[in-house]
Structure 1
Amino acid sequence: MDPTPATAPAHPPRERPLLSYPLLVAGKDIDGEGWVYTVSGRSLLEDVFTSISLKRSLERDPDSEAAHHPYVVGRCAVAGEAQIDLATEAAASAAPGWASVPLDRRMRLGHRFREELMRQQDTFLEMLVVESHPMKLARWELSGLLQIFSEESLDWCRRQMHTEIRLGERRLVVRRRPDGVVAFNPPQNAPMSSAALAVLVLMAGNAVVVRAPRSIALSTMWLLREIVAPLLDEAGAPPGTLNVVCGNPKQTLDRWVSSPLVDDIFYIGGSEEGLRFERDCVAHGKKPILELAGNDAIVVWSDADLDWAAEAVTEAFYGSGQICMVPNCVLVHPRVADALLSRVKEQIASIRPGHPEDEDVLLSPVRRSERFFALLRQALDKGARLVTGGRRTELDGTPSDTGVFLQPTVVRIDGLADARSYDLVREETFFPLIPVVVPEPAPDAQLLDSFIDFVNANPYGLRNSLWARSDRVIDEFVGRVGNGGLLKVNDSHIGFVPCLPSHGGTGLTGGAFGEANYPMLRTSHLQGVSIAGGISPHRAVFGT
């Protein structure tokens, strides 16, 4: 029997009306072909059976009494092929008009977006917590967006979009023009904060279609409909400049790839699927913009501030490691390996599971943990040593065989030469699991060479970071590491910094066209313009 308020445990009434979002196409609400429902993240910890049953019941019968259950917080309409195509057509119709809006007016959108984020930050955080993001993680996501849309970052982007040079009787313009229609596919693990990058794509002058992930659509719909769409209206954007659909991923992506109206597809997902998708895009004449897996390294040198380095290492456990930009591997100088591991173990003692709204909780539930235990078992069988963790845990932190959380887990691997034969070193794990690789003792110059070679040989390339005091070591590292889209020295690995790219990388992280990702630049193309007066064509050609 499907649970209803009469059969489910008693709960206080819902504090606010059920959020209900139709599709947004050409500035209008459009009906879909059904609904998907969001239940609170807390409910999945209290009574997962009831939560899942409620969703299934409502998707079969939206008028069911289950809609009044306090676990149910919102619903989003689901698009079929007709609605997906309608959204693309609306974007194509709006694109020329929006591209003609002056750049400075479009740039104002970014400033206004930051103001609205600040004004509505409590609701922003609440939407993330509803979708099971721990509050501490939600605050990090908000802080990242505030840096991406800071005055300094927006000013830097503005300068890249348009520069003028006076040279004699010529006015030379180097500018970037919008690509046209950009389709945006946020990931399931961080849909709302990723979808916010669409604002930068809009600022470049593109019209946008966003697919809110079907399994977790509510926060994305809220952000784009309640914040971004009104700001576009305020800016006088044509209807259809922003369109938001919630649909099946394969169906939606297939429609985008085959559509002659789509110019770019911004895809966030796993590397294997993403690289296949890249080839499909190129074959159909689309620009693929990929944000794929990360397998980042932290390097800790012998003179590092070990307390702060240990803090950076524990960033691996944000959201239980289910974030592409957290560190995935530590490479530590053998002279300080024991001291670093001791500090990391001390810090992990304060990292705990709990309800997502609790301020000091950092871990998220991990529903499919078989791969975690397979990676850990392979590492231990090959000779790695378990430093801490390695078990499931209950909501209160009690180790158990049935808990939905995983303990923060650290393993030590001695020897650098064979380190990448371990799957948990070679691949992104997406779990609260980090290997610490300790090379054999050797002269510092030799160790530094091997550290840099190891980082550069990583087939992924999102972020890398170094902890060291020596100017010589820092200069060598910065001068020679070419892998990745971002390099941090003596700084938070996951922290956001104004002006620097927040996303983007090389190799398995960004594909054949991978680099640091400024969405305004990646969804536009460079154009040179020369405006002359009083110059004969022959003089222009021959310089006489």
Structure 2
Amino acid sequence: MIQTKLWIGGEFRSAQGNATFIKLNPEQDTPLAESARASVEDVKRAVEAAHAAFPSYRMTTPGQRETWLSKAADLLEQRAEEFINVLIEEGGSPLFKAQFEVKFSVDALRTAAGIPRRVTGMTLPSDVPGRFSMATRSPLGVFACITPFNVPLIKAFVECTGPLATGNTVVMLASEEAPVVAIRVAELLRDAGFPAGSFNVLTGYGHEIGDTLVTHPHVKGVNFTGSTRVGRHLSELCGKHMKRVLLELGGKSPLIVLKDADLDAAVMGAIMGMFFYQGQVCMGSSRILVEAPVYDEFLKRFKAATSAIGFGDLRDPRTVTGPIISQRQRDRVRQHIEDAVANGAKLETGGTWDGNRCASTILTGVKKGMTCYYEETFGPVTAVYKVDSADEALAIANDTTYGLSAAVYTQNLAEAMRLAQGIHTGMVHVNAPSLQDEPHVPFGGVGDSGMGREGAATDIDHCTEWKWITIQAPMAAPAH
């Protein structure tokens, strides 16, 4: 098995008491890695290391941070195959998804390399004669970055590089389902030149150590990607302790197909938007709303395309569907499908399993009261609804506490803009899948999908604080 330790203060260290946990390969449920299981004391050590490194790291020059981030991007390109293999073996990623994740992560590092020189202040006019007034930005201190299992490489760099680029130090708590990729990230940033203590990695169980990390007095900011339930809890802790927080949570994203849509494009958008990484994505199009005149034709084409999605070898570029990450999540997917069917929904295709892989599943007749009407399944399960108008589609799209992403397929761009402005989400994509991201955009949602925005466009505001400084010219001494 692979053996991994914690990365604290520029050193690999065993957890307190040499505690470990076993990470299973999600395809066969066989042991893949024995990883350090961090304790409360290990959290304190990591935060203290980051806090000790902060005074010197915050004084590093923009050119130094730019160089380290650029070097990390170069190294990731060189080590692409290593990271792709880890994503496949540890996360059950099909080859296409693993390749996408590595490429996006390279782009995220290169985008972050442009941040240090954009941390600018301003001069301000003053009503006080002789006063020079300015506003400057300063890093906050230690950031706690808590990353998920589904895109662990992307989120490691999206969550952590904003703080690092702006002069903060980081303690990253990785998902217990992705400890190996987290340690590979630590090695990458070490080799890129980041100083000891500027970036630290904890592996273990969030329910055991997450609260200690978030509430530590030296932690000044928290970046979290994960479930809405945990996000609410962390939001309460951060509010109580006056910490800055960014939450990227779940979704119940609608995909609207109007009667004038290009149906081939809409079907492909639904396939990509829902079944990428076997539906384990927060932006998945789990509600597909189709205008009545094209409903039957869309459903026929969508079923045919979905039924063709196979269970091939994860390293085969044609494979779309891999294993669901854990037994707990497999049970959730099964329960959502069984509950819907038991309460009158029709299983159009899918619903079957091959080992730990669930076939891409389409339901119709899903109604309020069924678990999957409101709750996020986080698996390859979507529901298709017939609607009589764009306004009905808009009403159903907004009948949720979530608000992450949405997609609209239509030839009428005026109607597309009306819907885009009316859908209560953080992101809307016209004639493109709901699953979209770029490293420089303001990525995030509203409601139960989180608060704040990831991406270089917003990182500077999130990771720094303003300071107003004035200089008053001394009064001239009276002449004798």
Q: Is the 8 A contact 1:257 1:284 kept in 2?
A: no
Tell me the residue number matched to 2:478.
none
Matching of residue 282 in structure 1 with residue 239 in structure 2: yes
- Which residue, out of 8, 13, 35, partners 2:20? 35
What whole-Å deviation, never above 9, does each CA across 1:83-122 have from its counterpart, x for those lacking one? 2211111111111221222335324443333222222211
1:208-235 CA-partner distances (Å, limit 9, x unpaired): 111233343111111222x1122243xx
Pair 390,22 (structure 1): closer, same or farther in 2 beyond 3 Å? closer
Residues 365-421 of structure 1 show CA distances to partners (whole Å, capped at 9, x for unaligned) of 2334343343234433444332211222x2xxxxxxxx322111111238xxxx444
User: Match of 2:262, as an amino acid?
Assistant: D
2:447 is matched with which residue: 490, 494, 507? 507
Q: Closer, same or farther in 2 for the Cα pair 1:212/1:145, shift >3 Å?
A: same
Alignment partners' CA distance in 2, 1:476 and 1:99:
45
For residue 24 of structure 1, what is the aligned residue in structure 2? 7
d(CA) in 1 for partners of 2:123, 2:412: 41
CA distance in 2, matches of 1:261, 1:318: 38
Once residues 135 and 72 of structure 2 are traced to their aligned partners in structure 1, the CA distance between those partners, rounded to angstroms, is 27
Residues 514-544 of structure 1: per-residue CA shift (max 9 Å, x gap): 13323724642442656678799xxxxxxxx
Q: Assess if the C-alpha contact under 8 Å between 2:231 and 2:247 holds in 1.
A: yes
Letter in 1 for 2:9: A
The answer to whether the 8 Å contact 1:365/1:405 transfers is yes
1:90 to 36, 49, 65: 49
Question: How many aligned positions are there?
Answer: 462
Q: Say whether residues 1:322 and 2:307 are aligned partners.
A: no
Alignment of 1:26-65 (within 5 A): 26-32=9-15, 33-38=18-23, 40=25, 44-45=27-28, 48=29, 51=30, 55=31
Question: In the superposition, relative to structure 1, how do residues 161 and 171 fare at CA in structure 2: closer, same or farther (>3 Å)?
Answer: farther
Tell me, yes or no, if structure 1 residue 374 matches structure 2 residue 331: no
The residue number in structure 2 matching 1:451 is 393
Q: Is the 8 A contact 1:150 1:498 kept in 2?
A: no
Cross-structure match for 1:424 = 372
RMSD: 2.9
Confirm or deny that 1:520 pairs with 2:459. yes
Return closer, same or farther for 1:258/1:499 CA change in 2, 3 Å cut-off. closer
Matched, 1:213 2:175: yes
Counterpart of 1:310 in structure 2: which amino acid? V
Q: Which secondary structure does the structure 2 equivalent of 1:327 belong to?
A: coil
For residues 334 and 374 of structure 1, the distance between their equivalents in structure 2, rounded to whole angstroms, comes to 29
Q: Structure 1 residues 251, 39: closer, same or farther in 2, change over 3 A?
A: closer
TM-score when scaled to structure 1?
Answer: 0.77
- Is the Cα–Cα contact under 8 Å of residues 7 and 186 in structure 2 kept in the other structure? no
More displaced stretch, 102-111 vs 196-205? 102-111
- Which of 349, 353, 374 is matched with 2:307 structurally? 349
Q: Which residue of 2 aligns with 1:187?
A: 148
Cα 1:231/1:249, change in 2 over 3 Å: same
Offset, 1:173: 5.9
Residues 1:110 and 2:72 are matched in the alignment? no
The structure-2 alpha-carbon separation of the partners of 1:205 and 1:424, relative to structure 1 and needing over 3 Å to count, comes to same
- The answer (yes or no) to whether the contact 1:39–1:130 under 8 Å persists in 2 is no
Q: Secondary structure at the match of 1:390?
A: coil
Query: Which residue number corresponds to residue 385 of structure 1?
Result: 346
Q: How far does residue 145 in structure 1 lie from its aligned partner after superposition?
A: 2.3
Instruction: Determine if the alignment matches structure 1 residue 433 to structure 2 residue 381.
Output: yes
Q: Indicate if the aligned counterparts of 1:172 and 1:529 stay in contact, CA closer than 8 A.
A: yes
Deviation at 1:245, TM superposition (A): 2.0
- Under a length normalisation based on structure 2, what TM-score does the superposition of the two structures give? 0.86
Change (3 A) 1:248 1:273: same
1:31 partner amino acid: S
Per the alignment, residue 437 of structure 2 pairs with 496
| CA displacement 1:22-62 (0-9 Å, x = unmatched) | 32211122232233455655xx43xx4xx2xxx4xxxxxxx
The CA deviation string for residues 344-370 of structure 1, in whole angstroms up to 9 with x for no partner, is 122213311233222222212233434
Deviation at residue 454 of structure 1 after TM alignment:
3.2
